[in-house]
Structure 1
C-alpha cells in the first residue's frame, strides 16, 4: 500500500504548480485575445461580401472608398446561404453590416456583451441553416462569444472605462 499522499508526490506537486501558474493568467489578457480573434474572423468574412472598402492589416490592403455589396454577395445568399425568413438582399445587407460593425465594437471593447450576443445569433443561424456540418468551427466561435457575454471585455476596453466612470 502506498502511504505517500498526493501532495508529497513530486509529479502531483509539479502539476499543481503548473495549474497555479495557469490560474495567474489575467482575464484581461484572455479577453483581449478572444476579442481580437473573434473580431478578425467576422471582419474577414464581412470583407468578402463588400467591395470599395477594404482594411486588412496583415496584407496591408487599405481601400477607404464607399462600401457596397460585391457582385457575388446576393447570388451567394440566394443559392448557398439561403437564410430562412429573409430575402437574399436583406440577409446580404444585414450580414455585411453586422460583420463589419460588431467586430469593431468588440475590438474596442464597447457594448461588448451586446455585440457578442449579435454575433452569437449570427453564428447560431449559420450553424442551424447554412453549414450544419461546421459545428467544430462554430462551437469555437460560440465559446469565445459566450465568454465575452458572460465575463465582459476585460480592463482594456471602453466598457471598463465607462463602468469606472459610473461606479
Structure 2
C-alpha cells in the first residue's frame, strides 16, 4: 500500500491522504448549566452541613424550650395575682369569653393557670420535656379549637415547636439528659 507521498504510479506523485483531525464539539448549553447547578448544589449542601453541625438538635431544642416556656408562663402570670391566686378577671374570662365545653369555668381557670406555670418551668429545666411538651400541645389545641380558632398561624408555630420537643426530647442541655432520660 502506498504511503501518502509515494507515487501510485511510477513518476507521478500522489496527493496526500487527509488524516481526520478530531474537532472539538462544543458542549450543549445545558451541560454548562448542569455543571453550574451541581456546583451550586454542592455549595448549598456544604452550608447546610455547617449549619447542621453548628446549630443541631441541642441548640434548637434549648431555643424551643425557652420560647414555649416563655409564652405559656407569661400567659399563666396574667391569670393570677401573687404566687398562684387566680384573679376574678380570669374567672370572668373563662365564664364569658372562653366558655370551654365539659369543664366548669372555675375549674378550667385553675387548671389553665396552674398548668401554665408548672409545664413551662419543667420545659425550661428540660425535666419531663416530652410530657410537658405534650401537655402544652394539648392546651394549644384546646385554645385553637375552642377559644381562638382564627389564631391558627400562631398555634401552628407553637404546635411545630412542641411536636419537635415531644418527638426529639430536650437535648443534652436538659435535666432529663443529666438523669439519663431521653
Preserved CA contact (<8 Å) 1:42 1:100: yes
Is 1:69 aligned with 2:97? no
Is 1:52 aligned with 2:82? yes
Paired residues for 1:69-148 under 5 Å: 69-148=86-165
Aligned twin of 2:178: 161
Q: Name which structure has the greater RCO, CA cutoff 8 Å, separation 6+.
A: 1
Closer, same or farther in 2 for the Cα pair 1:147/1:6, shift >3 Å?
A: farther
Q: CA deviation at 1:8?
A: 6.7
What does the per-residue CA deviation read over 1:77-127, in whole Å, with 9 as the maximum and x for residues that have no partner? 011111110011000000000000000000000011011111111100010
Aligned twin of 2:24: none
Task: Give 1 or 2: higher strand fraction.
Answer: 1
Larger Rg: 2
Task: State the distance in 1 between where 2:68 and 2:35 align.
Answer: 40
* Residues matched between the structures, number: 152
Q: What's the C-alpha RMSD, in Å, of the aligned pairs? A: 1.7
Q: TM-score, normalised by structure 2?
A: 0.78
Preserved CA contact (<8 Å) 1:7 1:13: no
Q: TM-score, normalised by structure 1?
A: 0.85
Structure 1: gaps (5+ residues): 54-66
Task: State the distance in 1 between where 2:38 and 2:69 align.
Answer: 44
